[in-house]
C-alpha cells in the first residue's frame, strides 16, 4: 500500500451536540478518525469524553450535527465498566463467548494477540487490573473491528502496567490497522502512543499532535497544572543527592518535610 495515500476515514462527527433536557452535555464536536489512527480524548471529569465516545459507538444519538460512518463500519467497544456479576465464577474462556460464538482457535488467537493466552482458564475475578484490561481488548478484537473505542483502558493499573497497555494498544493498531479512539486521564503516558489528542471541555478546547496540544494555551489553562505535575514524573525531581560513597542526602524543605518527588498520586 502507498504510505502517502490518504487513509480511509472511518467516522466523522460534525458540529455534534448532545443535550439532556435543557442541559447541553457537549456541543460543537468535530472529529474524525482514520484507519490506523489513534485519537485520544482528554479533559477534566464531566467534560464529555464518554458522551463523545458513545456518539461514536452509536449508543448516544446527537441532538444536532451529523455522524458519518464508513459503510459496514465494525466497532469494538471496551467500556469503562463491565456489568459482571462478580459473585459468580467466570473463566476468561467463558467471558470471551458471553456475547458471541467463537471457535477455540479464534479465542486463542485473540488472547495471544494481547499476551493473555495463558489466562484462558483463569477466573476473571482473580485477574490483575492489567490482565483484565487485556482480556477486554481481546474480547473486542475477536470481532475484527475497523474501529476500537476504549473508555479509560488503563484504569486500575499501576504505572508500569499503564505503559505496557499503551504499547499494546499501539501494537494492536500496527498489526490490525484499525482506528482507535480512546479516553484517557494519563496524558503523560498516552502522549507517546497517540497520533491526535482532542482536549474536551464540553466543546473541543484544542486538538493536534500531543506536542502541539501540550504547549497550547487552552490546554495549559484547562489541565496545565495536572499536566505539569505529570511531566514532573519524568523529570524525576529528587529532593536528595546520591554522593560518591553511595550515601543519600535528603534536602529538607522550609516546612520541615522531606519529599521524594517521584510524582506519584
Ligand X SMILES: Nc1ncnc2c1ncn2[C@@H]1O[C@H](COP(=O)(O)OP(=O)(O)OP(=O)(O)O)[C@@H](O)[C@H]1O
Q: What gap in Å lies between CA 71 and CA 61, rounded to an integer? A: 18
- Single residue of 16, 34, 38, 43 touching ligand X by CB under 6 A: 43
Q: Are 184 and 190 in contact (CB under 8 A)?
A: yes
Q: Are 206 and 218 in contact (CB under 8 A)?
A: yes
38 Cβ contact partners less than 8 Å away, ≥ 6 residues apart: 169, 170, 173, 179, 180, 182, 193, 194, 195, 196
Q: Is 67 helix (H, G, I), strand (E, B) or coil?
A: strand
Minimum gap (Å) between residue 126 Cβ and ligand X: 27
Nearer to ligand X, 110 or 190 (CB): 190
Check residue 47 for interaction with ligand X (CB under 6 A).
yes
Check residue 184 for interaction with ligand X (CB under 6 A).
no
Q: What gap in Å lies between CA 192 and CA 251, rounded to an integer? A: 32
Nearer to ligand X, 40 or 176 (CB): 40
Minimum gap (Å) between residue 189 Cβ and ligand X: 16
Part in contact with ligand X (CB under 6 A); list of ranges 49-57, 127-135, 138-146, 218-226: 49-57
Check residue 48 for interaction with ligand X (CB under 6 A).
yes
Check residue 25 for interaction with ligand X (CB under 6 A).
yes
Q: Are 113 and 175 in contact (CB under 8 A)?
A: yes
Nearer to ligand X, 9 or 57 (CB): 57
- Single residue of 27, 29, 33, 51 touching ligand X by CB under 6 A: 51
The contact set with ligand X (CB under 6 A) reads 20, 25, 43, 45-51
Amino acid at each position: 500500500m502507498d504510505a502517502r495515500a490518504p487513509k480511509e476515514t472511518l467516522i466523522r462527527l460534525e458540529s455534534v451536540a448532545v443535550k439532556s433536557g435543557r442541559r447541553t452535555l457537549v456541543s460543537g464536536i468535530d472529529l474524525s478518525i482514520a484507519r490506523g489512527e489513534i485519537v485520544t480524548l482528554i479533559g477534566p471529569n464531566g467534560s464529555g469524553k464518554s458522551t463523545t465516545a458513545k456518539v461514536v459507538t452509536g449508543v448516544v444519538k446527537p441532538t444536532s450535527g451529523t455522524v458519518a460512518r464508513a459503510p459496514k463500519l465494525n466497532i469494538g467497544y471496551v467500556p469503562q465498566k463491565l456489568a459482571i456479576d462478580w459473585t459468580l465464577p467466570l473463566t476468561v474462556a467463558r467471558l470471551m463467548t458471553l456475547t458471541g460464538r467463537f471457535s477455540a482457535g479464534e479465542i486463542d488467537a485473540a488472547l495471544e494477540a494481547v499476551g493473555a493466552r495463558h489466562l484462558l482458564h483463569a477466573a476473571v475475578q482473580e485477574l490483575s487490573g492489567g490482565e483484565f484490561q487485556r482480556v477486554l481488548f481481546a474480547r473486542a478484537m475477536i470481532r475484527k473491528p475497523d474501529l476500537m473505542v476504549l473508555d479509560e483502558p488503563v484504569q486500575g493499573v499501576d504505572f508500569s502496567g499503564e505503559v505496557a497497555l499503551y504499547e499494546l494498544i499501539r501494537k494492536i493498531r500496527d498489526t490490525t490497522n484499525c482506528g482507535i479512539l480512546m479516553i484517557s486521564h494519563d496524558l503523560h503516558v498516552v502522549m507517546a502512543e497517540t497520533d491526535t489528542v482532542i482536549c474536551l471541555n464540553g466543546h473541543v478546547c484544542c486538538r493536534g499532535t500531543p506536542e502541539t496540544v501540550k504547549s497550547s494555551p487552552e490546554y495549559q489553562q484547562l489541565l496545565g497544572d495536572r499536566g505539569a505535575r505529570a511531566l514532573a514524573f519524568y523529570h524525576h525531581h529528587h529532593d536528595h543527592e546520591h554522593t560518591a560513597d553511595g550515601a543519600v542526602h535528603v534536602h529538607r524543605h522550609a516546612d520541615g518535610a522531606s519529599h521524594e518527588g517521584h510524582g506519584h498520586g
